[in-house]
Amino acid sequence: MNAIISLCHFCESHGPSILFCTQAFHQSQDAQLLHDSAPPGDYRGHTNSVDPLTQNLSAIVHQPPTDQCDACRSLSPGQPGFISYDESTQITYISCQHPEQQQLYSILRQACVRSLNCEVCPGREGPIVFGEDSSCHTLSHTFNLCDRQARGFSRLYSFIIVMRDRMFLVNSWPFLVKHLRSLIDNLQKKAEKTYSLESDEHKLTSSSRLLPSHGGRRLLPNQTYRSLVDLTGDKDIYVYLHKYFIYLIKTGGRRMMECIVEGPPQAMAVTDSFKMLSDQELIEKLDKSLPSAEFRVLQLEDQPIFNSLRHFVSILGSEDFPELAYHIMRGDQLIVRGNDPSTVMSVLNILKELVPESICRIIGFSSTYQESFVAEFLGLSVGVNLPRHIVDSELHVLLDILPPLKRYYSKSAGDQPNSVLGGADIVEPLEKYKLMVYSAQPCLHDQKYPVIIRRLMALLTGDGISDQMVSRGILALKEEWMNKVKILYKFSQVYPKDSLENDEKLNKLVKEVLFVTPEDMPILLHWRSALRKDYRAHLLQK
């Protein structure tokens, strides 16, 4: 933690003063100088060892002014400070009365004055944060120590932590305040113990210390303002503070690390499995894959296409669509056959909105059948025959697009029907097409629709809802069901399905938490495969 921790005191004669401060040196020249110039003691090669420096370190620390009283002085003359060296991190911790750098001393001095004079927290004793972005930010915790010889029988102190990173300081508030409060409680207990002993000893002579003319408290000729050592009765109090400040700096820096926030992993993998080909690209692909004797490619702009899911449902019928949608959403392979590539691809492009993108591999138009592990959505030409095991399987659904009978007209003889020579096809509207759905076995019995199918049909058949609102509603519905999938996945990892008790817990979760029916479970289990591996690991760590 890149900060300076200091103990400050408000002296009755000299005002706010810095008593003791600790800072860390990260392989700097000053720290190396201290480390090299220190006498060979036990601190070399030991972590957080403490030794008073006896050599002259005037280049490193400023000696306190000679006119300071004992209350404003932490270290005796000839004792410039303490040093600790951490071998594991190669950081040197130095404690002295004032920092060496003039600019740093000025910042610390200003924070000391504001802590004891200007910035006031409720009750005059407690933590507070202040500072400016142009300078430094300070966390201050003021407190009082009992002193029988002080005005009001108490002296005002404060701990201040100064750093430039405001966000780090604010986020460290709970940790720092907790440990500062613990340190203050310890000091106050020591001071109260000393105060109690002095009260017992001077119980009979306490009245003689008052001046009759002023009614105030004055120092006797043999009395001086007392130091923190005298108030607490602990001659090693500054060694204790040195160690405690090191703990705060070291632990405070380890508990929070700076990192780039990228957000959680994506729940679903983004795929590029379906790409709408341009007219020329599609013609070139079809010319290579389809025999010219069997198929004739029309101009793509003349082929009818489905514009929206609602348009598709109006042609197919609201009675057949739930069966088709349930097959698609539970992971069965969708096979669409038709003469016109653009029409087939428009159907696939619309129906893929019903499932997450990462489990929707699409082959737009093919001359041969492809297995379901290659493509869940498959477009075929009318002349392609399906394998027998596909026709008999209930894990596949076939949608045939049957156009009306062809009519022709002659370009030279006017609009004369049944003229074949020199003629061109008349493009019929999709309302005259017939869509047939085939499956080996119906998956919805007695119109017992899953919850997601019922909500989907309410969107598609609702009055006064635009196609754009339908698309957004379907997107929101998929997001809602993906959240249910995440809950189900995490539950299944915590309670594996290996006992009757866990089965009962799963049924209770599905009914009372996810609010779905058993008919929805195949959809949830299939959509679970849409979760990426890294996102599954992220769910288990939350």
Q: What is the pLDDT of residues 46-57, one digit of tens each?
A: 344 444 443 333
For residue 261, pLDDT over 80 is answered with no
d(CA 456, CA 453): 5
Q: What is the 3-state secondary structure (H, E, C) of 333-378?
A: EEEEECCCHHHHHHHHHHHHHHCCHHHCCEEEEECCCCCCCCCCEE
The answer to whether position 268 is within a domain reads: no
Question: 420 and 510, same structural domain?
Answer: no
State the DSSP H helix or E strand holding residue 138, giving kind and residue range, or none if neither.
strand 137-146
Burial class (CB in 10 A: 0-12, 13-18, 19+), 19: buried
Question: 290 and 198, same structural domain?
Answer: no
For residue 439, pLDDT over 90 is answered with no
Range of the domain at 145: 4-254
Question: 111 and 16, same structural domain?
Answer: yes
H-type alpha helices, 371-466: 388-391, 451-461
User: Residue 531 has what DSSP assignment?
Assistant: B
Domain count, the chain: 3
Over residues 293-338, the pLDDT tens digits come to 333 333 344 567 888 899 999 999 888 899 899 999 999 999 999 9
Reported as a pLDDT band with limits 50, 70 and 90, residue 139 is: very high
Question: 310 and 237, same structural domain?
Answer: no
The answer to whether position 501 is within a domain reads: yes
Among candidate residues 236, 254, 272, the one where a domain is terminated: 254
Between 70-79, 383-392, 418-427, the lowest mean confidence (pLDDT) is in 418-427
Between 7-16, 96-105, 281-290, 365-374, the lowest mean confidence (pLDDT) is in 281-290
The answer to whether position 259 is within a domain reads: no
Over residues 181-225, the pLDDT tens digits come to 999 999 999 999 988 888 877 665 555 454 444 444 454 444 557
For residue 258, pLDDT over 80 is answered with no
The answer to whether position 212 is within a domain reads: yes
Which residues 6+ apart lie within 8 Å of 223 measured at CB? Answer: 149
Question: 422 and 472, same structural domain?
Answer: no
Which residues 6+ apart lie within 8 Å of 262 measured at CB? Answer: none
Q: What is the mean pLDDT of residues 365-390?
A: 89
Q: What is the mean pLDDT of residues 149-171?
A: 88
Question: 191 and 73, same structural domain?
Answer: yes
Q: Give the distance, in angstroms, between the CA of residue 521 and the centroid of all CA atoms in the same chain.
A: 30
Question: 217 and 296, same structural domain?
Answer: no
Q: What average pLDDT does the structure give for the chain?
A: 76
What is the CATH number for 386? 3.40.50.12430
Question: Would you say 144 and 9 are in contact if contact means Cβ atoms under 8 Å apart?
Answer: no
How much of the chain, in percent, has pLDDT values that exceed 70?
A: 72
Question: Would you say 297 and 279 are in contact if contact means Cβ atoms under 8 Å apart?
Answer: no
Q: What is the mean pLDDT of residues 492-503?
A: 70
Between 68-72, 227-231, 527-531, the lowest mean confidence (pLDDT) is in 68-72
Q: Which DSSP string corresponds to 310-343?
A: HHHHHHH-TTTHHHHHHHHHTTPEEEEE-S-HHH
The answer to whether position 301 is within a domain reads: yes
